[in-house]
Amino acid sequence: MTKRVNISAACLGGTFLICSLFASAEVPVVQSQADHVATSSSAVPLNRTQNTNGPSTELIETLMFQVQQLESTVAEQRGLIEELSYQVQVLQQEQKERYIDLDNRIQSIQQQAVTTAATTQAVPVTDDAQTALTDEEILAQYNAATALMQERKFDESIARLSEFAQQHPDHPLTPNAWYWTGEIYLVQRQVESARTSFEKVVADYPDHAKVSDSLYKLGVIAQQGSKPELAKTYFERVIKDYPSTQSAKLSEARLNSN
């Protein structure tokens, strides 16, 4: 009996000893991945936001200064463009006067030629008269001379126009031939020859439609030759004597530009 009690006590003591050992042992703590990342010395907290600095005051001032410079440059360029546009308009007006539509003018000249031929008294037929050109042939000569001008064959055109004017001094187209000769001389910078041609129209054909154009061109030549008073005289004469013409409008523009 006593032996059985001792064995039971020994077993009970061993059980308490094992339980005591388990209780005193350190239990390992399992750390989650999120806790590991949060406690790491090199990790960034999950709730932390990165701070970004705005543009500096110095940078803003620099950009504003550059914008002001660009605005000033644009304003200057706009003024230059407006000035050039005005010059182009003036040149276009002169170009229209210089290179007008020849077809419309030729129609008017043809009507004048027909009217003149109808009112001209018959001339006795002589040997020289038999070789005279018809109105159609004369018109063809003039058209050929002006066609050379349109093709910018200026020297040939001047030669043909001069020949036409000498052969037909009393023809209605002759003042036009002198006028276009002056225009070509102007293009070639032969100012004195141009002046002579325009003065020929004014002096020899005072009732012709090209007188107003010739007077205006004489005014332009005087103005470009630093003779403002003479130019003013020509322009005012065009405005006074030929107020409804294109040359009068151009003369007014020239006077107003001074």
In this structure, what token pair is assigned to residue 258?
A: 């001074």
Asked if residue 147 has pLDDT above 80, the reply is yes
Whether pLDDT at 2 is above 70: no
Mean pLDDT, residues 5-18: 45
Q: Does residue 247 or residue 11 have the better pLDDT?
A: 247
**Please, are residues 211 and 201 in contact by the beta-carbon 8 Å criterion?**
yes
Q: What is the pTM of this model?
A: 0.52
Taking Cα atoms as reference points, which of 100, 180, 197 lies closest to residue 146?
180
Residue 227 has a pLDDT of: 93
Given pLDDT bands bounded at 50, 70 and 90, which one contains residue 59? confident
Distance CA 88, CA 225 (A): 21
- Alpha-carbon span 104 to 85, nearest angstrom: 29
The answer to whether 177 and 169 have CB atoms below 8 angstroms apart is no
Segment among 13-27, 174-188, 192-206 with least mean pLDDT: 13-27
- Give the pLDDT confidence score for residue 34 in this predicted structure: 44
Model pLDDT, residue 208: 94
Tokens of 96: 């229209």
Q: Residue 145 in contact with residue 160, Cβ under 8 Å? A: yes
**Residue 157 near residue 145, CB atoms below 8 Å:** yes
pLDDT in the model for residue 256: 87
